[in-house]
Chain A
Amino acid sequence: MIKDASRSLDHRPPTEAPPTLVWKVMARLDQYDRRRQLLRRFLAATTLAVVTVLFRRRTRR
């Protein structure tokens, strides 16, 4: 019954974008930015670690 009531309140034609869609898109873009940032930091940290290890090995010889 609740489902029927909410359906009858939804007057939007199906081709009309839901008002929350734009916020969902923004949230996806934020998530993408955060992941990219994390990946960059990880790569930078890994590169630094590898360079440090190689440098130490060389200086020990």
Chain B
Amino acid sequence: MDAARRGDRDAFNELVRSTYRDIYSLAYRLTGNRDDAGDVVQDAYVRAYRAIRRFRGDSSFSTWMYRITSNCASTHLSRRTRQRTEELSSDAPIVDLRPEQDPSLRAEAAVLRHHIDRAIRALPERLRQVVVLRDLHDLSHSEIAAELGITTSAAKVRLHRARQRLKAVLQPTTELGEGQTALLPQDEQDEEAS
């Protein structure tokens, strides 16, 4: 880390290799599109490379990268909204069913994931960032607050609102079977059981 901060390109390359999978995953969750996610990841690393000397090391490098990636995704999405206005068709075929790997649970899980991904993408950006960082990247409320430059209570409120919206969207569309409830977090499994 210190070497990268001093401008050592090889050290920075090593940081890229160790973090790019998580960064891509976050970028994909925020953009909902492989191509856009790839662009966002590239932009995020260039921004990080430019600013690495100013990185104080208060948080881990990956946490710092999460913040940069969120900002890049926001910029990318707002730019894309200005450039393209067509709506995605709601009856587009589900790409990720992968019938060649066809155990029924796997297919059901893919459908459920598709619903969840779509519901997350439909959230307003400020809510989506919080739910992605908390539920997919497992950051604490305080870490999310630090990442987004908001208070911890604001992060909690946003997370609550985001989950309420997801619940409202997902409940009518997904009839959960036993196999699928196993995919939910423990507290939601308890709710399903009760």
Contacts and interface: CB of A to CB of B under 8 A. Distances in A.
Contact of B41 (A8, A14, A16, A21): A21
A56 interface: no
Interface residues of B, number: 24
What DSSP secondary structure best describes chain B's contact surface?
Answer: helix
Nearest to A9: B100
A28 B42 contact: yes
B164 interface: no
Contacts of A7: 95
B66 interface: no
Contacts, number: 55
A22 B17 contact: yes
A52 to B, nearest CB: 30
Given A17-B25, A32-B50, A25 B45 contact: yes
A33 B95 CA distance: 38
Contact of B25 (A15, A22, A28): A15
B29 interface: yes
B98 A14 contact: no
Given A14-B28, A22-B16, A25-B16, A32 B49 contact: yes
Contacts of A29: 9, 12-13, 16, 45-46, 49
Interface of B: 9, 12-13, 16-17, 20-21, 24-25, 28-29, 34, 38, 41-42, 45-46, 49-50, 95-96, 98, 100-101
